[in-house]
């Protein structure tokens, strides 16, 4: 078991990807409200962890990949860096 955000969880917990997706949405909302780039970075990290924690045959995987793409698109809009548009395809 690992400790994350003051809550113990198992890395193989089937609910973990959904919780990580929710966390990424939370940080993304903070970014939209406050404009802090570190919140967007946290959103991207949580969304990428959701993808990694999801079995490749899961129907949820497409949605998690979409979240990663949306967050990188927000980062591109903020910073204008081309690599932020290319990153989601390598996730």
Structure tokens at 59: 């129907």
Size of the chain, expressed as the number of residues it contains: 91
Cβ atoms of 69 and 88 closer than 8 Å: yes
Its pTM stands at 0.83
Mean pLDDT within 45-58: 94
pLDDT at 38: 97
pLDDT at 29: 97
Residue 71 CA to its chain's centroid (Å)? 7
- Residue 82: count of CB within 10 angstroms of its CB: 9
pLDDT at 85: 84
Q: What percent of the chain has pLDDT over 70?
A: 82
Helix 37-53 crosses helix 16-34 at what angle (to 10 degrees)?
160
- Residue 23: count of CB within 10 angstroms of its CB: 19
Residue 84: which pLDDT band, with cuts at 50, 70 and 90?
Answer: confident
pLDDT at 87: 77
């Amino acid at each position: 078991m690992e400790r994350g955000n003051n809550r113990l969880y198992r890395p193989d917990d089937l609910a973990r990807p959904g919780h990580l997706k929710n966390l990424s949405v939370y940080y993304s909302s903070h970014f939209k409200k406050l404009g802090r780039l570190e919140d967007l970075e946290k959103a991207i990290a949580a969304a990428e962890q959701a993808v990694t924690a999801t079995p490749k045959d899961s129907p949820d995987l497409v949605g998690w990949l979409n979240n990663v793409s949306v967050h990188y698109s927000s980062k591109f809009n903020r910073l204008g860096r081309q690599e932020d548009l290319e990153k989601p395809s390598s996730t």
